[in-house]
Structure 1
Amino acid sequence: MSTFTTADGTDLDYRDSGPTASGRTLVLVHGWSQSRSTWDRVTPALAEHHRVVSYDQRGHGESGKPDHGARVARLAADLAELVEHLGLTSYDLVGHSMGASVAWSLIDSRGTGALDSLVVVDQPSACVVLPWMTAEEGAAAGAILDFPSTEGFVGAVGAADATETRRAFLASMLSDVLPEEDMAFLFGENLRMPGPWGARLLLDHAMQDWRDVLPRIDVPTLVVAGDVSHVAPASQEWTAAHIPGAQLRTFTADEGGSHFPFFEGPQHFAQVLLDFVAGTPGPRG
């Protein structure tokens, strides 16, 4: 484990492992309220072939928990600074849930120049039916909430007595066959994120509309869906259809196809990711 300090003074905890001979570096970005440790079940298989970097985003896991920076745009800047710190001139970016939003924010502000490929893991391009969308447009993109209910939901997540709310929200993302010890682990990671700060980040995340970014992605892309995820698989089909040349892979329940396929079905996920990377051209530089 190593630590990098961002330009605004926040320490980010990261792990860098695996061989460099393949010329490929997989950068794994976790979702809201989780940590890099959620990737630990797939990292060994990936690191047999490629360099793998995972890290705790600010406010999460072992990383610093400042009062500022509860915005997806700041998380994207953190990612860009970490990549620069590691000297990566190109890399394959894997974003889970909010981690995919971080990837889209990075692409929106900086383009895809350093990316060899992109993997989007079960993240709608819009989480909320925003005022400029019709209900049908929001549903197609995968919006889970309507605009009026978002305030109440985010407020409940950030409340002082939000433990059960946070647990229920996490449980909704997982399959009903997940062992209790696994749920306890994920919930423990969830609770490491300060609630009020996390609520601010969740609101910022929920208010984003990334649909206009999708057609501008010009690197090989894999979109991952789960048959038993709380995110409608059809929305991931919609995302893949709007990214030029993107592939779609939907994990079944037997393959661990919840919102956390890399945690519930790590062997399947690792093989799919390795096959995808092997089928892409590699460093564009």
Structure 2
Amino acid sequence: MMVTTSDGCALDVRDSGPGSTGDTLVLMHGWSQSRAMFDRVIPLLAPTHRVVSFDLRGHGESGKPATGARVARLAADLHEVLDALDVDRACLVGHSLGASVAWSYLDTHGSSRVDSLVVVDQPSACAVLPWMTAEDGKDAGAILDVAGADAFVASLTSPESDAIRHAFLVSMLSPDIGADDVEWLYRENLRMPAAWGARLLFDHIMQDWRDVLPGIDVPTLVIGGEVSHVSTASQAWTADRIPGAELRVFTRAEGGSHFPFFEDAASFAPVLLDFLAAHRVPSAAQRSAAAV
């Protein structure tokens, strides 16, 4: 189905699983990816949960507007998707950029519609920004400095853009992944226009979510990968800053790259389901029924 945002962008949305359980998952993918990357894990989640996944604007089957290349606009889109699908409360599962979207949503809209949060392999700051020390950057998981971020984003609109995007994708995958999977992921990546995506990536890299973490007041699971380009120490640091948060690091044998839900859905799904079961919040309908 398509959901049209307030500024006219059509978002491709998939709504799977039972709608009456009161347990809804909203899956948000990373930069230059698509909702299709969750298609291996959704069948393992949908028998017991309503699962909503959607292509962020500029990605996959969603509209490719010239506007909205900002994390804040993506968070506004999330809010409008929840409204359009009448989602009262949900667990937000954000992978990479999708985690930044979730943090932005919590920062601007609060947690009244959020039962729980799952952060999949996302630094709380992607770059060592001018107000940060090198140690701050290491703790947060920063991968670049500002000059490096500027150079990388500029390269995305150069004649070598496709090759650079391919190399960046491969750097985030485990050495064990098959060539067919790499090729499929790469084709999905190329569905995002490079120039628009470069603007979005720069906005994403320039965010510093560290001050948001202590204010998160819902059960949270932070997921890292043993062979990810994001350091597991930074994911532990993030979990330590979120009150009561849990940490799970996937090993190489469990598909523990930047894409654990894609590389080994059979290992990823039980971890997510166990977390949800441990922190289940009754729906409004269930609470009303129990009160009768």
Q: Same fold by TM-score, threshold 0.5 exceeded?
A: yes
The alpha-carbon deviation at position 23 of structure 1 amounts to 1.2
Please give the alpha-carbon distance, in whole angstroms, between the structure 1 residues aligned to 2:167 and 2:282. 41
Which amino acid letter does the alignment assign opposite residue 242 of structure 1? Answer: R
1:33 aligns with 2:32: yes
The alpha-carbon deviation at position 284 of structure 1 amounts to 7.2
1:216 aligns with 2:215: yes
2:111 aligned counterpart, secondary structure: coil
What is residue 67 of structure 2 aligned with on the other side?
68
1:12 aligns with 2:16: no
1:100 aligns with 2:99: yes
1:237 aligns with 2:222: no
Q: Which runs of 4+ in 1 moved over 6 A?
A: none
The alpha-carbon deviation at position 17 of structure 1 amounts to 0.8
The answer to whether the Cα contact below 8 Å between 1:91 and 1:283 also exists between their aligned partners in 2 is no
What is residue 182 of structure 1 aligned with on the other side?
181
The alpha-carbon deviation at position 22 of structure 1 amounts to 2.4
What is residue 149 of structure 1 aligned with on the other side?
148
1:241 aligned counterpart, secondary structure: helix
Structure 1: runs of 5 or more not aligned: none
Structure 2: runs of 5 or more not aligned: 285-292
The alpha-carbon deviation at position 147 of structure 1 amounts to 1.5
* 1:76-225 equivalence runs, <5 A: 76-225=75-224
Which amino acid letter does the alignment assign opposite residue 248 of structure 1? Answer: L
1:151 aligned counterpart, secondary structure: helix
Q: Give the alignment's TM-score, normalised by structure 2.
A: 0.96
In the superposition, relative to structure 1, how do residues 283 and 201 fare at CA in structure 2: closer, same or farther (>3 Å)?
A: farther
What is residue 288 of structure 2 aligned with on the other side?
none
Deviates more, 1:243-252 or 1:148-157: 148-157
What is residue 287 of structure 2 aligned with on the other side?
none
What is residue 276 of structure 1 aligned with on the other side?
275
Per-residue CA deviations over 1:65-124 (Å, capped at 9, x if unaligned) read: 000100000000000000011111101110000000000000010111100000000000
Please give the alpha-carbon distance, in whole angstroms, between the structure 2 residues aligned to 1:195 and 1:272. 34
Which amino acid letter does the alignment assign opposite residue 282 of structure 1? Answer: V
1:264 aligns with 2:263: yes
The alpha-carbon deviation at position 21 of structure 1 amounts to 3.5
1:253 aligns with 2:252: yes
Deviates more, 1:18-27 or 1:90-99: 18-27
What is the aligned-residue RMSD (CA, Å)?
0.9
The answer to whether the Cα contact below 8 Å between 2:16 and 2:52 also exists between their aligned partners in 1 is yes
The answer to whether the Cα contact below 8 Å between 1:231 and 1:259 also exists between their aligned partners in 2 is yes
The alpha-carbon deviation at position 283 of structure 1 amounts to 4.2
Count of residue pairs the alignment pairs up: 284
Per-residue CA deviations over 1:133-165 (Å, capped at 9, x if unaligned) read: 000011110000011211101111232430100
The alpha-carbon deviation at position 53 of structure 1 amounts to 0.4
The answer to whether the Cα contact below 8 Å between 2:23 and 2:283 also exists between their aligned partners in 1 is no
Which amino acid letter does the alignment assign opposite residue 74 of structure 1? Answer: R
Please give the alpha-carbon distance, in whole angstroms, between the structure 2 residues aligned to 1:182 and 1:203. 27
The answer to whether the Cα contact below 8 Å between 1:157 and 1:195 also exists between their aligned partners in 2 is yes
Please give the alpha-carbon distance, in whole angstroms, between the structure 2 residues aligned to 1:240 and 1:161. 37
Identity of aligned residues (%): 63
2:156 aligned counterpart, secondary structure: helix
1:159 aligned counterpart, secondary structure: coil
Which amino acid letter does the alignment assign opposite residue 88 of structure 2? Answer: T
